[in-house]
Structure 1
Amino acid sequence: MHKAHESGARDEDYYNRALLDYEAEHGMQFTHLHCWEVLKGSPKWMETEVPKFLSNPQACKRYKTSGSSSFDTEFGDASINLNVDVGDDEEDEVMNDEALARLMVSELAMHNEHAIGMKTEERLAFMEIKRREVELREREVAMLEYRQRQEDIRFYMQPYEHLNMDALTRMEALRVQIKAN
């Protein structure tokens, strides 16, 4: 299979055209350029011709039909299709490659949309988990504050008149601090 370039067109021109077509069709830029850079040299892609996007996608299309004339030869039946001009195979290959490219782009876009949807779902699930963690931490802090307040009240209510002068002074300072909170 050989590449049929438009007059003066290079592979880079087709590459840029494909990116523009993708963006026009999907409303967003092609996000897997790094993957294409890695894969374009692989044997699978080397066997496949890079599609050449026609300037007018509605260009006249010619279809192969079963033979319109046939004749017998000593080697068996042969048929000739008189409805197809010589050299149309190359044009059909380009159109088939364009259809293949569109199919690949649409499948990639669907996969990309699915991946974006999955990322959104994962992000929402993560946010829900974090919200629950924050809520539990707030409850834990409230419980610790309640316990501390209960201990402070119990301490405040204890008799302390039997203490010596230094201990009595410290006890009064703690009671003032507890009362302030």
Structure 2
Amino acid sequence: MNAALEASQLGFSLGETGADIQGLKISDFTIFVLTDEAFESIGSVLASADLETLQDVLRYHINPSSVIFSQSLGNVTVPSLQGPDLTFTVLPDGSAWVNNARITFPNTILYNGVAHVIDSVLSPGPFDRSSLEPSTPASDRVAFPDASFVSSLPFSSIAFSTDHMAYSTTPVLLQTIAAVSPQQAEANTTTTSSSAHCGW
């Protein structure tokens, strides 16, 4: 995802911001992070996409106006940075969806927002909740119908303007951890006579 954001020239990366960083000046955002497999499933589209198309697709994966944790999800819509709304669906089995993509790893805390990992790429535009097919494998829920799978993506490494190294995976310092609710944190906290330890 970072490599795609870098290739899109949006100036927005998961782990870098500040007054001296050019690009999107947003905070308190929610972003839907794609797995490599999700990108690979539409690899043929990415290979021929122009910069504007890539930017539109990635902007559609960002809600710029609020931090949305999974506990707040319901059958609602929220605006995307790209324009069209994102449609959330929570099914009786507890699974959460944004459009036709399943949220596979929710509530990853970023220093200025929250990320949810999803299993397929979101295509900008209206989504009808009744068209959701939750039993369909992610590989068949491709948002771009004419896309085909590729094993080598057109973007595979990232480099930030503030360092001089390229990474084929997200640097350890940019990785985040899954959120823990305050109740879980409190339940895991033990106090000894010398110090208090919080278990995450």
Q: TM-score range by the shorter chain?
A: under 0.3
TM-score w.r.t. structure 2 length? 0.21
Q: Which structure exhibits the higher relative contact order, with contacts defined as CA atoms closer than 8 Å and separated by 6 or more residues?
A: 2
Between structures 1 and 2, the one with greater strand share: 2
Between structures 1 and 2, the one with greater helix share: 1
Larger Rg, first or second structure (1 or 2): 1
